[in-house]
Amino acid sequence: MDVEALRVRDLVRQVVTEVAPEELPLLAGLAGFDDATAVQRLGGEVRRREPLGFGLGEVAALVTPVVWLAVDQATQQIVGTWVQNRVARTGAALRRVFRRSASEPVVIPPLTREQLVLVQRSVLTMAAQRGLEPERAAVIADAVVTRLVLAEPEPEAAVVAEVEPDGPPELLAPRTPVRPSGSALPDAPVQPNEFTRRDGVPEGPEQPDEPTRPAGD
Amino acid sequence: MVVLSSGAPGAGAAEQPADAAPLDERVLVAGTTLRFVLILALLAAASVSMIPRTVWHLLASPEKANLEVACYLAAGIDPSVSANASFVQSRRQPAALEECTARFAQDFTLVSVGVGLVALAAASAVYRLLPLWRTRRTRVVPLDIVDVHGRLRPLLDELVTVAGLNRTPRFVVDPASRTTGAVAFGRPRRPVIRLDGGLVVTADGEQERFRAVVLHELAHLHHKDIGITYATVALWRVFLVLVLLPWTAVGLDVLLLRGSAEVRGMYAPFNTHAQLLGGLLVLAVYLSRLEILRHREIYADLMAARWGASAQPWEDGAARQHAGEGWRRPFVRFAALWRTHPAPALRRASLADPKVLFTLRALPLLLTGLAADILVWHLNALLYEFLWPGAVLVAGLVVGIGGVALWRAVLYALRAGRTVPSGWSVGLWLGLGVVVGELTGPRAAMNQWLPAHPEALLILVAALVLLMTWTTQNAEWWLRARREHPPGPAMLAGLAVPALAYASVQYWWRSVGEVLTDGWPFTTAGVLASYGLPGLPPSDLGPLWHVVAVLGLLPGTLTGAGSLWWAQVLLWALPVLALVAASRPGGEGARGGGQSPVAGLAGGLTGGIACSAGLAVALAWLRDAELGDSGAVGPLRLAQMMVPVLVICAAMALTAAVVAALTDSGWLTTGLMAAGITALLGVVAAHILVRANAGSGSSAVAWSLSREAHLPYAVALGTPVAGLAAFVGRGVGLAGRGVALLVRRVTTRRKGGPHPDARPAPVEERPLRPKWRRAVRLAAVGAVVTWIGATALAVDVSAASGRVSRPALVPDRPAPEPSAAVSRLQHQAWAAAGGLERIEALRTVELRYSAAFTAVGEATDDAGFLQAMDRVTDACGAMDQATRRAGAYLDVPSAAGQRIWTRVLTRHREMTDTCRALAMRPDPTTAKAADITHQNAIDSVDAMSYWLAEKGAIRPK
């Protein structure tokens, strides 16, 4: 299943780039966090009044946390049980304490129609909870679903993948070397189509938010 | 929150029109540093007090600890009676008690110091690590990572330049935070500002907001808020975990679990008070810290606005926040106490008029009084030698915090043309905090649930009310007179005086006064005897001697320089200096709200003349009076000191009351000034009259100024008495004016004249002529110089020999009889803490003597006889030693038991004597005598053992 997966953070970047590009600086900042940390921090309590803080800060209706949390939540429901989820989170917390390597990025498996509906509903619910207007919530949910649908594998590729689960990844998506692009800053806006790849083969050390470039380019 | 805006009756609104521009909040110090210092001092003192107690309870051997407590019970101390009665009992046989407790004492000072150092190191580590923790990799990212467009950095650099900071802070971003705020933290040398993700996202669209938020945080750095705030946070957290939590656990163990229920119940009041005080400490520190932080926020807002921040974010914040209405309002206000920031509406309003920074509020004052009282309790852990520095510290903080608030309030009222606050309410709230601390904690009640006479605490409240009213009137005068000058230096002097005066009250309270919460623990004979003069106490204790005894316990009793009695002089010396300033050409103080120089001088001179006349009469009466037994100089000497003091104090009080009744504004300072002049003249008159008297009569006493105690007594006692009398005079004056107004109104109505509500036009006061101005100035300077010189002389010689002074004043009213249960416990303790051991020691030497005596009888040759006699001699020495050791032990805590114990000691002394006689002259007579006394000694010990067993103190054999 992992072979066909799309990373949550990639999906978030695509959606944010499309519907709220002004939030890309936040994604640049979140790039340094592993998924578990990012989800935990994005879902944490709002600290309005700390000593020597401004104290009048209102809560901005941001798209990034809505998409990330909603998709993460839906993915957890689809691919794992609640217990597994908690174990993973605890593991992440322990890793942080002992300065171990970051947790693996959360990936989204190919989804059925029902599962897509679940994701859409999750986004809408999260958006409502976070104070986004319904119209905007709908746009975000559509963007998420669209990205997920576009990320679905071609039927033939899926068949191949089914027959030869360990087959060469090039059949699904070209292997994309992960490399920092000198001029392009890590957080520079990226083109949506950059994130339609499939990570068919195990990659080297995880560089979650570094821009990737299709091999064909 | 209660707002103290009640104006002094008659204080009146300031005359000058309201300034158009809002008052600059920086015109006077904010006073928050002092409040932080109070918190830090409280935490430090509480740690010094709590750590040794915790360490002791954790490490001490329970057996030895119980035996140490048993010493006090064995000394006849009844835990269920008042602290004074216990104290009286403990002073009956101090050497024996000290020896007993020293034997079982367990000293863990080094461990306590070690724990204290660890706590200090932990606080330092927390202070240093907090910024690192808050800027950890999973929390924030450097600004440059987020500043993808490169627009934020130049903007922030510009804002830092606007703020003019010496040190550019490090900017970091919390990308997961959705709020549009920021926060300043770090250490003064490494400040950090964390921007929230929401703020960064909206930076382009809402640049005004971005600027306002960042400027607000830069203002915190500008005001040096982060150092003291996070030092307090670090100390507070370490205190909670390393000091308070273990202390509470130990306290609850002692209160609920340790030992028998009977003993726990006996000490339950004290332990409960101690725990409650711990809870109050948490409340006081926590609420004070939040209150200070809320103040600092408004200062930061104002500075940000001054640097060009738009008011829009504050407007938006206020618009979003809905103030509680109707029944919700109290809850909203209560909830606001627990927040780090003021209500948005208040912040918005403060941008236009920062009156909240100048308004007197009850809660901070109450918390200050409470925190200071808890501080006093924990300072008790320090040595008695640190009493006066402790008193100065506490008084400085209490009066400093209340006084700065008052100076700011007065300044604001004058500049805004509003009613000047009265000041007495500030003293009342501070005093209420003190009273709450005293009644909740164990200081006043000790091992009772409530002190027997809590009304004695009103002395402290009255002192604070008096000093705060004085501070207000003094502040008003100086602020009016020196309108063009910066008010800081005047405020410093204006606060130092009442702070020192309150320190002297604190000193007296802790030395003598606080025993009064337990009732009157002295007897007149005891007080008079404590002077150590021949002929005291006199056989006939008439009313004069009762008055003298009471007078000797009031402030003024303690005339050493460390008691700070001389600080009372300054309470009227400063108003006299103000008089000098008023007489200068162009001085504004002579008009308006200042004290009236004419009233002060005239009142003082009149009072001085009356005082001198009173002294002449009193001393003439003393010359002819029969005081005490003939030939004893003590009564006359004491009377010659105390009667003039009484007359001078009465004259001061009367003068202050009359002047206060007749004066409108500055009635207290003017009244005190007049009372001071009265006292000065009175002391001089007393000195002359006593010297004149000393030459005549049979009981002539040599007097000199340096050996008299008139001055300290008159000042230290007379000044506060005069101050309180001024309040009475003020009340009477107002009542009189009210009656006069009523009478005039009735009369006018009958006559059909104009309505009396129309207030008469104020009569313009004629300025003094130049030559009179010079005369007033000269007189004032002369008075101050004379007073200060005389005071310095008195301070200098306060320890000189030959003065009438008292080494130590000890409560001497006897304690009531203990209950049967307590009596049984006391006897058990007497036996356990050393009584039984001494009885056994006596038995052992008796046996040794018997053996030696038998050996003498059985000796068959000279060598054996001599050897046996040596054994007898040794036994005599051992008997003597055991008897002495038993005699040095505590008395049996009951009359019946003590009679038997005395018999034991007497019998053994007799036995020792006969034993020695036998050893010196061994013959049948001495042998028989020794045998008889030996038997008597054995019988006496048996009787003692039977009696103790019968009493339940020991188990019968």
* CATH code of the region B134-224: 3.30.2010
Q: Are A26 and A200 in contact (CB under 8 A)?
A: no
Task: Place A177 in a pLDDT band, splitting at 50, 70 and 90.
Answer: very low
Give B470: exposed, middle or buried? Use CB within 10 Å, 0-12, 13-18, 19+.
buried
Per-range mean pLDDT, top range of A157-171, B707-721, B779-793, B921-935 = B921-935
pLDDT of residue B769: 64
Selected for mutation to probe chain A from B179, B192, B223 (highest A CB count within 10 Å) is B179
3-class DSSP state of B108: coil
- The ipTM (two decimal places) reads 0.72
User: What is the identity of the amino acid at B492?
Assistant: L
For residues B344-372, give the mean pLDDT: 93
Count CB atoms within 10 A of the CB of residue B534.
12
For residues A131-136, give the mean pLDDT: 92
Per-range mean pLDDT, top range of B617-626, B646-655, B858-867 = B646-655
Mention every residue, 6+ apart, whose C-beta is less than 8 A from residue B30.
Answer: B295, B299, B357, B404
A35-74 tens-digit pLDDT: 889 999 998 877 767 899 998 878 889 999 999 999 998 9
Mention every residue, 6+ apart, whose C-beta is less than 8 A from residue B926.
Answer: B914, B917, B918, B920
Run of H or E residues at B142: strand B141-142
Answer positive or negative: Cα dihedral of B115, B120, B125, B127.
Answer: positive
B335 reaches A (C-beta below 8 A): no
Q: Which residue has the tokens 């309790």?
A: B377
Give B578: exposed, middle or buried? Use CB within 10 Å, 0-12, 13-18, 19+.
buried
Task: Place B592 in a pLDDT band, splitting at 50, 70 and 90.
Answer: very low
B213 reaches A (C-beta below 8 A): yes
Q: Which residues of B320-342 are buried (b: 16+ CB within 10 A; e: fewer)?
A: eeeeeeeeeeeeeeeebeeebbb
pLDDT above 90 covers what percent of chain B? 51
Distance from C-alpha of B45 to C-alpha of B35, rounded to nearest angstrom: 15
Q: Which residue has the tokens 């003021």?
A: B342
pLDDT of residue B426: 96
Q: How far is CA B876 from CA A121, B694, B849, B882, in A?
A: 104, 60, 7, 10
Options 1.20.1300, 1.10.3470, 1.10.30, 1.20.120; which CATH number does B820-951 get?
1.20.120
- What residues in A contact B173, CB-CB < 8 Å? 29
**Residue scoring higher pLDDT (B754 or B288):** B288
Count CB atoms within 10 A of the CB of residue B270.
19
pLDDT of residue A207: 38
Q: What is the per-residue DSSP string for B437-462? A: HHHHSHHHHTTSSS-S-GGGGHHHHH
Would you call A186 and B347 a contact, using CB atoms and an 8 Å cutoff? no
B877 reaches A (C-beta below 8 A): no
Q: What is the 3-state secondary structure (H, E, C) of B724-748?
A: HHHHHHHHHHHHHHHHHHHHHHHHH
3-class DSSP state of A1: coil
Q: Indicate whether B2 pLDDT > 60.
A: no
pLDDT of residue B42: 94
Distance from C-alpha of A179 to C-alpha of A207, rounded to nearest angstrom: 9
Q: Between residues 218 and 277 of chain B, which touch chain A (CB distance below 8 Å)?
A: 220, 225-226, 229, 233
Of B179, B314, B340, the CB nearest to A51: B340
DSSP-derived letter for residue B792 is H
Tell me the angle at which helices B770-796 and B597-624 cross, rounded to the nearest 10 degrees: 40
Span of B27-36, B93-102, B205-214, B231-240 with lowest mean pLDDT? B27-36
Q: Are B689 and B758 in contact (CB under 8 A)?
A: no
Would you call A65 and B179 a contact, using CB atoms and an 8 Å cutoff? no
Cross-strand pairs, B419: B13
How much is the CA Rg of chain A, to the nearest whole Å? 18
Span of B33-37, B49-53, B528-532, B938-942 with lowest mean pLDDT? B528-532
Q: What is the per-residue DSSP string for B611-632? A: HHHHHHHHHHHHHHS--SSTT-
Query: What's the number of CA atoms in the CB half-sphere (13 Å) around residue B377?
Result: 30
Mean pLDDT of chain B: 85
Mean pLDDT of chain A: 69
Q: What is the per-residue DSSP string for B674-717? A: HHHHHHHHHHHHHHHHHHHHHTSSTT-----GGG--HHHHHHHH
Calculate how close chain A gets to B608, using CA atoms only, in Å. 57
**Residue scoring higher pLDDT (A217 or B664):** B664
Q: Which two tokens stand for residue B343?
A: 């209500």
pLDDT of residue A193: 38
For residues B179-191, give the mean pLDDT: 93
pLDDT of residue A26: 93
Q: How far is CA B823 from CA B80, B447, B472, in A?
A: 11, 17, 55
3-class DSSP state of B3: strand
Of B173, B178, B229, the CB nearest to A62: B178
Q: Are B105 and B68 in contact (CB under 8 A)?
A: yes
Distance from C-alpha of A60 to C-alpha of A69, rounded to nearest angstrom: 16
Distance from C-alpha of B474 to C-alpha of B303, rounded to nearest angstrom: 30
Mention every residue, 6+ apart, whose C-beta is less than 8 A from residue B646.
Answer: B547, B551, B618
DSSP-derived letter for residue B31 is S
- What residues in A contact B222, CB-CB < 8 Å? none
Answer positive or negative: Cα dihedral of B87, B91, B97, B98.
Answer: positive
- Can you give the residue ranges of every domain in chain B? 134-224, 360-519, 565-756+768-796, 820-951
pLDDT of residue B86: 79
- Give the Cα-Cα-Cα angle B478, B483, B489 (nearest 5 degrees): 55
Count CB atoms within 10 A of the CB of residue A166.
8
DSSP-derived letter for residue B75 is T
Q: Which two tokens stand for residue B757?
A: 């509500």
Selected for mutation to probe chain A from B136, B152, B178, B202 (highest A CB count within 10 Å) is B178
Selected for mutation to probe chain B from A23, A54, A187 (highest B CB count within 10 Å) is A54
B200 reaches A (C-beta below 8 A): yes
Cα separation of the two ends of chain A: 27
Which residue in chain A has the smallest CA separation from B213? A54
pLDDT of residue B15: 42
pLDDT above 90 covers what percent of chain A? 31
Q: Are A196 and A151 in contact (CB under 8 A)?
A: yes
Q: Are B656 and B675 in contact (CB under 8 A)?
A: yes
B331-345 tens-digit pLDDT: 888 888 999 999 999
pLDDT above 70 covers what percent of chain B? 86
Q: Which residue has the tokens 């150590």?
A: B532
Would you call B178 and A44 a contact, using CB atoms and an 8 Å cutoff? no
pLDDT of residue A28: 94
Count CB atoms within 10 A of the CB of residue B581.
19
Q: Between residues 344 and 383 of chain B, which touch chain A (CB distance below 8 Å)?
A: 344, 347
- B141-142 and B182-187 strand pairing: unpaired
For residues B339-355, give the mean pLDDT: 92
User: What is the identity of the amino acid at B313?
Assistant: P
Distance from C-alpha of B389 to C-alpha of B398, rounded to nearest angstrom: 14
Run of H or E residues at B303: helix B268-306
pLDDT of residue B568: 85
B611-645 tens-digit pLDDT: 999 999 988 888 777 776 666 777 877 887 788 88
Q: Are B410 and B420 in contact (CB under 8 A)?
A: yes
pLDDT of residue B776: 66
pLDDT of residue A97: 52
- What residues in A contact B146, CB-CB < 8 Å? 25-26, 28-29, 187
pLDDT above 70 covers what percent of chain A? 55
Calculate how close chain B gets to A147, using CA atoms only, in Å. 23
Mention every residue, 6+ apart, whose C-beta is less than 8 A from residue B759.
Answer: none
Q: Are B368 and B404 in contact (CB under 8 A)?
A: no
B470-507 tens-digit pLDDT: 999 999 988 888 777 888 888 998 999 999 999 999 99
Calculate how close chain A gets to B505, using CA atoms only, in Å. 37
Count CB atoms within 10 A of the CB of residue B354.
20
Q: Are A60 and A67 in contact (CB under 8 A)?
A: no
**Residue scoring higher pLDDT (B289 or A47):** B289
For residues B857-885, give the mean pLDDT: 89
Distance from C-alpha of B12 to C-alpha of B14, rounded to nearest angstrom: 6
Q: Indicate whether B942 pLDDT > 60.
A: yes
Of B148, B181, B229, the CB nearest to A55: B181
User: What is the identity of the amino acid at B333?
Assistant: R
pLDDT of residue B417: 87
Task: Place B791 in a pLDDT band, splitting at 50, 70 and 90.
Answer: low
Task: Place A208 in a pLDDT band, splitting at 50, 70 and 90.
Answer: very low
- Can you give the residue ranges of every domain in chain A? 2-46+60-167
* pTM summary value: 0.81
Task: Place B81 in a pLDDT band, splitting at 50, 70 and 90.
Answer: confident
Distance from C-alpha of B86 to C-alpha of B381, rounded to nearest angstrom: 19
Task: Place B530 in a pLDDT band, splitting at 50, 70 and 90.
Answer: confident
B408-425 tens-digit pLDDT: 999 999 988 888 998 999
Give B802: exposed, middle or buried? Use CB within 10 Å, 0-12, 13-18, 19+.
exposed
Span of B245-254, B597-606, B624-633 with lowest mean pLDDT? B624-633
3-class DSSP state of B13: strand
pLDDT of residue A182: 35
pLDDT of residue B247: 96
For residues B39-49, give the mean pLDDT: 93
